[in-house]
Structure 1
């Protein structure tokens, strides 16, 4: 799914997040599961911050982050993490987040790994399905002598969140390893392609191994001899069942996303005067009955999709202090601001004015 056309790459009050080389469709395609962002929100709450403020203006709420079917773009994830870092200055937020995760924090992929035959098979599976775990980095594995080396690199140029992403990834690797083979799991060495941060000592305490800063790559290095270690949680039947479900679910999600994307695209293009279901179905070459049935098969409805598009656009537009509430209402298809306010409360549990005040208080610039 591509983000609404009104979404900006810089977010409310922020500087432009993407360079020209990353300003392409991949940067704004909502295809990243929200497991990482959900854990980030929980970490902020543990540290005493209000996590609901990191999603303001992006058509997202904390309830969305708790929905395993929710997807975000790299742009949205980038900005949400950037805001979290601003809120939690002084904390090693990536380490804090990754250390709170478990193997089940990455959804069904975690269960598939647990039921794998060996540690090596589980790791290989996790790497193959890495995009299903919500990672915003790219991971590659190689064997070097007696070591297994997993490298982490960025999908896009995002220097302001790269340290967070590497911290979170490597700390979560450690937790996943412990979920598979117990407390004995630990890396042999950690290499990091950035200078020592103020919290450098926390790295050594968490990973309990040699940590080298200022290297040329971000590497998580562990003993290759561990790859053949059998997992006590291995279960071939359960593994086949989980993998079969994952494959069916991925195929179904692809089909559902195609239909939903098509409907949402038509709605976004005509949100000021939204078409009814019959007209959208005609544009897609379907009967209204067929479209409604297919949406119902995917546990949604035409009204749900219209409400979601209106909510997303309204949340984005409210970040623009130059627009009045009435103008925002008109932009999302309401001729009566009172009806808009009532619908907005139903969608978000808050009022347009309160959301705008929260955004202005957090990002006064």
Structure 2
């Protein structure tokens, strides 16, 4: 399981809501944690909050940017079906014994969740956190939910039912055989807003690639890569990065050095990884690619790309044979003060702490 920096901010905010001091809840540095560590953290949070609605509050407070790289991949999805596939594959709440499953009837889409473990003091903590987070994400993707949406829970209510409805925003019933959300399947393949954005599919693929790589590799360098990609062009300085990762600059440098790398090296590596993908798989002009990667001057991007790869962006594109003749306008550097075309049509940028 993985603790994103955005989760830490939301936990602190919700603890304040229920009248508790966030400083009384010790959090590990953000990044990968074992399932046992996550369970203990959840139990400590439940004990400190002493409020049965804590999981509902946490889930309802989340936005997709909170989930780091996974959230950005979902924001760049073409349809709810694609977004659900990402959730099923990469949700941090699935664990080793949990299960997320999406099924269809002729009229409905059914999302089922079996938690990987029960939290002492709040056995349904993960179920309520999961569905409150899913419903918050759905509203961010499609707006108000259809009236026929409902949630069926496999336990008796532990609070007044109005509390569940207030935080979940849909009809809730109890005592069922499984925990599941049911909604109409008529919108499952309808295009989301990102479907109309030329670069969104490329961005989603890049997020998925890094998710797969980091699931396999882990380590502090993986955490830093997630943060840089999630920044979408705003590349945080070392000090900002260390604060997001809940450690000092010195500690971050030391931990990266122990893995044989550096913050600057990771920034360049991620930028180059994205640049090669944009140039090789999209019709974006070089100026647009430079803008997406946070370069204020396209000439600086060209110099950096040649240093990384031994050739210019144009030479790389010619060698790869990508999208020749597909551009709608001649490639040129933007005039001073002019935004590139791509900046004006990027997916919505939600605040993230990845």
Indicate the TM-score class for this superposition, using the shorter chain for normalisation: 0.5 to 0.7
- Of 9, 22, 25, which residue of structure 2 is paired with 1:51? 22
Query: After TM superposition, what 4+ stretches of structure 1 lie above 6 angstroms from structure 2?
Result: 291-294
Counterpart selection for 2:261 from 287, 291, 297: 297
Aligned equivalent of 1:94? 55
TM-score by length of 2: 0.56
Quote the Cα distance in structure 2 between the aligned partners of 1:194 and 1:166. Answer: 10
* Structure 1 Cα separation of the partners of residues 202 and 112 of structure 2: 29
Structure 1: give runs of 5+ residues left out of the alignment: 1-30, 261-290, 301-365
Cross-structure match for 2:127? 166
160 and 91 in structure 1: CA distance in 2 versus 1, 3 angstrom threshold: closer
CA shift, 1:227, in A, is 0.4
Take 2:133 and 2:39, find their aligned partners in 1: how far apart are those partners? 19
1:145 maps to 106
Q: Which residue of the partner structure matches residue 244 of structure 1?
A: 206
1:213 to 174, 181, 191: 174
Contact 2:154 2:178 in 1 (8 A): yes
Match of 1:32 in 2: 2
Per the TM alignment, residue 128 of structure 1 is displaced from its structure 2 partner at its CA by: 2.1
Alignment partner, residue 216 of structure 2: 254
For residues 262 and 214 of structure 2, what CA distance do their matches in structure 1 show? 9
- 3-state DSSP of counterpart to 2:135: helix
Contact 1:193 1:217 in 2 (8 A): yes
- Alpha-carbon separation, structure 1, partners of 2:94 and 2:55: 13
Cα distance between partner residues in 2 of 1:43 and 1:185: 28
Corresponding residue of 2:233: none
Q: CA deviation at 1:249?
A: 5.8
Q: Is the 8 A contact 2:43 2:120 kept in 1?
A: no
The DSSP-based 3-state class of the residue aligned with 2:37 is: helix
Residue by residue over 1:97-130, the C-alpha shift from the partner in whole angstroms, topping out at 9 and shown as x without a partner, is 1111111111121121122112222222222222
Encode CA deviations 1:4-27: one digit per residue, 9 max, x unaligned: xxxxxxxxxxxxxxxxxxxxxxxx
**CA, structure 1 residues 253+295, in 2 after alignment: closer, same or farther (shift >3 Å)?**
farther
Deviations 1:120-141 (A, max 9, x none): 222222222224xx55553111
Q: Please report the RMSD computed on the Cα atoms of aligned residues, expressed in angstroms.
A: 3.1
Normalised by the size of structure 1, how large is the TM-score?
0.55
Partners in 2 of 1:195 and 1:210 — Cα distance?
A: 15
Q: CA separation in 1, counterparts of 2:203 and 2:153? A: 38
For residue 88 of structure 1, report the CA deviation from its aligned partner: 2.0
What is the CA–CA distance in structure 1 between the aligned matches of 2:75 and 2:180, rounded to whole Å?
23
Partner SS state of residue 221, structure 1: strand
1:112 pairs, out of 73, 77, 81, with: 73
After TM superposition, give the deviation of residue 160 of structure 1 in Å. 3.9
The answer to whether the 8 Å contact 1:37/1:77 transfers is no
- Tell me whether 80-89 or 211-220 shows the greater mean CA deviation: 80-89
For residues 298 and 238 of structure 1, do their structure 2 counterparts lie closer, same or farther at Cα, with a shift above 3 Å needed? Answer: farther
Matches of 1:245 and 1:210 in 2, distance apart?
Answer: 34
Deviations, residues 139-165 of structure 1 (Å, cap 9, x unaligned): 111113311111111223546443111
Residue 297 of structure 1 aligns to a residue whose secondary structure is: coil
- 1:200-239 per-residue CA deviation (whole Å, 9 max, x = no partner) reads 2111233343311111111111111110221123335233
CA distance in 2, matches of 1:292, 1:206: 40
Mean Cα deviation higher: 113-122 or 158-167: 158-167
Residue of structure 1 equivalent to 2:157? 196
TM-superposed CA distance for 1:77, in Å, is: 1.6
